[in-house]
Chains A and B, each alone.
Chain A
């Protein structure tokens, strides 16, 4: 096949994939900029520009509060699960003990259960702990669900760090905690950023737990609030507001990915050991 056709086909396919991935978000943006009956005409190019939807989302109701809730919950979930996962990964990757692989498999099996299957049980636990309708209830349940993944990824990553570097640190008199914080953490940036980002996205988008474990508007997170946005009557769905809110909640994720994309430096361990 001539190179020209090959290239055209390749870029055509890329364009198709990009279109498929970006179109829903693009459509949300242009819809959020419309008002009134223009919302219900199908147009593929922006025809009007009005920030009215954004203004009313921010000014009416508790949306800023809910946005803050989402940030606090997701941020703490990331911090907690990374702290626990890094320490667990050190034990699972570097300390020899009986039943290590069994434990690793058990951790993985936790993530097999669908959320809906553990919902009722988890609800009881959260009620028992007095965390119902608090952000801590959400943080607790999200951490449970993100931990298996973070532990697994970090364990695999830590296993690949050269053992000699750890031994050199031991000879230098480092304790396990010093090895983790001063030697391994700086080398694990790429893995930490990746898993942290995924945990953040999972917590940010979570809906079912957030709907079940909170009851008042002040403790709701953004996905639930958006779903519960209602218009003037039961039959009116405020598409403009929903789209504006959706665009607002997407922005932090995009910003985070853009920031950390630069920090994901592969090959950070290059030079420490031979080769």
Chain B
């Protein structure tokens, strides 16, 4: 039940500012996801919260207690690293027990907690193996297990799925979601560059850009009411279409954003007309790339497989006028 408050937190490496004054409040027991393109500072922000990097200025507080100068273990955090970072020379059991042993826990207590965590993650069978004898997915579970046994107040994940293959990634994502449901007293922060992970796991998402918070909100808020073209383009897959000039002028906007799933092909008299350049069939749905004379082709999502042929003239309209209007600064346009 820990609330985390960041107050004007800055981080510089030499003269280079990575985090440029972040104000953020992470609610107790919340699953917060930091998302953004590479180099936006999301991992650095996580490492500042973990205590692996020193905060240049500003304050970081856990439950109103400033923790700027505390070590990671004093802060009561646990962290899962992108590369697992298991101790190669220790068995799975010793990997998980290492932190407890350092904290001088009793032998019985250590054993009980390791076994409990192992059961939760279904790794009881591998406790006496070395990390090199495990597969990538098993290693990642051990890394999660090592974090669980310490019963942390704050649980940090640094891109934990990026080394797994696609199928395993989906499976592990579900397990992390289940873990969050079970550890309902723990605040979790999760860093990813993958917006699908962010959308599926998060209670709230914090979108970062160049060391600044771009927008914080629930996944649906970010999807439905993006506060900038950056967030609009980052959340949602495939990416939102952006139209400018004459296309946007018709809607009294500088930039007009329309999601591919909010466009439909009409038989005639569409809002925009153009030739089909390419279609991608995914079976359950397909994406049509249409040249309507704008800078980039317009992407339209369509249920089922595409019946149209490249070169066909198509008419496209937004469904229910579901469009996002942005002004010159990239923020939502007023009325």
State the A residues within 8 Å of B (CB).
162, 164-165, 167-174, 178, 182-183, 186-187, 268-274
Residue of A at shortest CB range from B72? A171
Residues of B within 8 A of A186 (CB): 89
Residue of A at shortest CB range from B103? A173
- Inter-chain pairs besides A164-B84, A273-B86, 7 sampled, C-beta below 8 Å: A165-B86, A167-B79, A168-B146, A173-B99, A269-B88, A272-B86, A273-B83
Residues of B within 8 A of A273 (CB): 83-86
Q: Are A274 and B72 in contact (CB under 8 A)?
A: no
Residues of B within 8 A of A168 (CB): 79, 81, 85-87, 146
B-side interface size class? 20 to 34
Smallest beta-carbon distance B298→chain A, Å: 39
Interface positions of B from 82 to 107, Cβ below 8 Å from A: 82-89, 98-99, 102-103
Contact with A along B230-262 (1 / 0, CB 8 A): 000000000000000000000000000000000
Question: Complex formed: what's the CA distance from A182 to B97 in Å?
Answer: 13
Smallest beta-carbon distance A269→chain B, Å: 5
Question: Complex formed: what's the CA distance from A173 to B105 in Å?
Answer: 13
Residue of B at shortest CB range from A163? B85
B150 touches A (CB below 8 Å): yes
B78 touches A (CB below 8 Å): yes
Residues of A within 8 A of B146 (CB): 168, 172
Interface positions of B from 131 to 162, Cβ below 8 Å from A: 131-134, 136, 139, 146, 150
Question: Complex formed: what's the CA distance from A164 to B82 in Å?
Answer: 9
B130 touches A (CB below 8 Å): yes
Question: Complex formed: what's the CA distance from A272 to B140 in Å?
Answer: 11
Q: Are B130 and A271 in contact (CB under 8 A)?
A: yes
B77 touches A (CB below 8 Å): yes
Question: Complex formed: what's the CA distance from A174 to B72 in Å?
Answer: 10
Question: Complex formed: what's the CA distance from A135 to B82 in Å?
Answer: 51
Smallest beta-carbon distance B82→chain A, Å: 8
Residue of B at shortest CB range from A161? B88
Q: Are B81 and A167 in contact (CB under 8 A)?
A: yes
Residue of A at shortest CB range from B133? A271
Q: Are A272 and B131 in contact (CB under 8 A)?
A: yes
Residues of A within 8 A of B133 (CB): 271
Partner of A173, one of B50, B79, B85, B102: B102
Q: A167-B52, A173-B99 are in contact. Are A272 and B88 (CB under 8 A)?
A: yes
Q: Are B131 and A173 in contact (CB under 8 A)?
A: no
Question: Complex formed: what's the CA distance from A273 to B131 in Å?
Answer: 9
Question: Complex formed: what's the CA distance from A274 to B131 in Å?
Answer: 10
Question: Complex formed: what's the CA distance from A178 to B131 in Å?
Answer: 20
Residues of A within 8 A of B131 (CB): 271-272
Q: A170-B52, A271-B131 are in contact. Are A165 and B103 (CB under 8 A)?
A: no
B171 touches A (CB below 8 Å): no
* 25 interchain pairs, CB-CB under 8 A: A167-B79, A168-B85, A168-B86, A169-B87, A170-B73, A171-B73, A171-B78, A172-B102, A173-B71, A173-B72, A173-B73, A174-B102, A268-B89, A269-B88, A270-B132, A271-B130, A271-B131, A271-B134, A272-B84, A272-B85, A272-B86, A272-B131, A272-B132, A274-B82, A274-B163
Residues of A within 8 A of B77 (CB): 171
Question: Complex formed: what's the CA distance from A5 to B98 in Å?
Answer: 58
Smallest beta-carbon distance B71→chain A, Å: 7
Residue of A at shortest CB range from B162? A274
Q: Are B87 and A165 in contact (CB under 8 A)?
A: yes
Question: Complex formed: what's the CA distance from A173 to B79 in Å?
Answer: 12
Q: Are A271 and B139 in contact (CB under 8 A)?
A: yes
Residues of B within 8 A of A274 (CB): 82-84, 136, 163
Question: Complex formed: what's the CA distance from A219 to B78 in Å?
Answer: 56
Residues of A within 8 A of B52 (CB): 167, 170-171
Smallest beta-carbon distance B53→chain A, Å: 10
Question: Complex formed: what's the CA distance from A161 to B86 in Å?
Answer: 12
Q: Are A167 and B85 in contact (CB under 8 A)?
A: yes
Question: Complex formed: what's the CA distance from A173 to B146 in Å?
Answer: 13
Question: Complex formed: what's the CA distance from A186 to B88 in Å?
Answer: 9
Partner of B88, one of A169, A173, A174, A271: A271
Smallest beta-carbon distance B154→chain A, Å: 11
Smallest beta-carbon distance B77→chain A, Å: 7
Question: Complex formed: what's the CA distance from A169 to B85 in Å?
Answer: 9
Partner of B102, one of A165, A178, A187: A178
Residues of A within 8 A of B50 (CB): 171
Q: Are A170 and B72 in contact (CB under 8 A)?
A: yes
Q: A172-B99, A172-B150 are in contact. Are A162 and B72 (CB under 8 A)?
A: no
Residues of B within 8 A of A268 (CB): 88-89
Smallest beta-carbon distance A108→chain B, Å: 27
Smallest beta-carbon distance B236→chain A, Å: 29
Smallest beta-carbon distance A17→chain B, Å: 36
Question: Complex formed: what's the CA distance from A273 to B82 in Å?
Answer: 9
Partner of A164, one of B73, B78, B85: B85
Question: Complex formed: what's the CA distance from A271 to B84 in Å?
Answer: 9
Question: Complex formed: what's the CA distance from A164 to B146 in Å?
Answer: 14
Question: Complex formed: what's the CA distance from A273 to B95 in Å?
Answer: 13
Q: Are B98 and A271 in contact (CB under 8 A)?
A: no
Question: Complex formed: what's the CA distance from A169 to B146 in Å?
Answer: 11
Question: Complex formed: what's the CA distance from A164 to B139 in Å?
Answer: 14
Question: Complex formed: what's the CA distance from A187 to B90 in Å?
Answer: 10
Residues of B within 8 A of A173 (CB): 71-73, 99, 102-103
Q: Are A164 and B83 in contact (CB under 8 A)?
A: yes
Smallest beta-carbon distance B297→chain A, Å: 37
Residues of B within 8 A of A174 (CB): 98, 102
Residues of A within 8 A of B139 (CB): 271
